[in-house]
Amino acid sequence: MHNKELHDTTDVVSIMKSKRLRWAGHVARMGEKRTMYSIVVGKPEGKRPLGRRRRLWEDNIRRDLG
């Protein structure tokens, strides 16, 4: 089955949104001392390279909710 046929027969986008939102809720309920929480919520040190900003996990969640 080609990707086009798959997208036509299923709603892949909404499946991915629901998975992302479930994972975000799971991480949000974690304590601040958990490693995964600090990775998802934390801000890395240093500068980003020039050019367009990469989309962050947080940006995807905001877009899914909006």
- Of residues 58 and 43, which shows the higher confidence score? 58
Reported pTM: 0.58
pLDDT band with cut points at 50, 70 and 90 for residue 12? low
pLDDT 10s digits, 17-26: 888 889 888 8
- For residues 64 and 17, the answer to whether their CB atoms sit within 8 Å is yes
d(CA 39, CA 56): 12
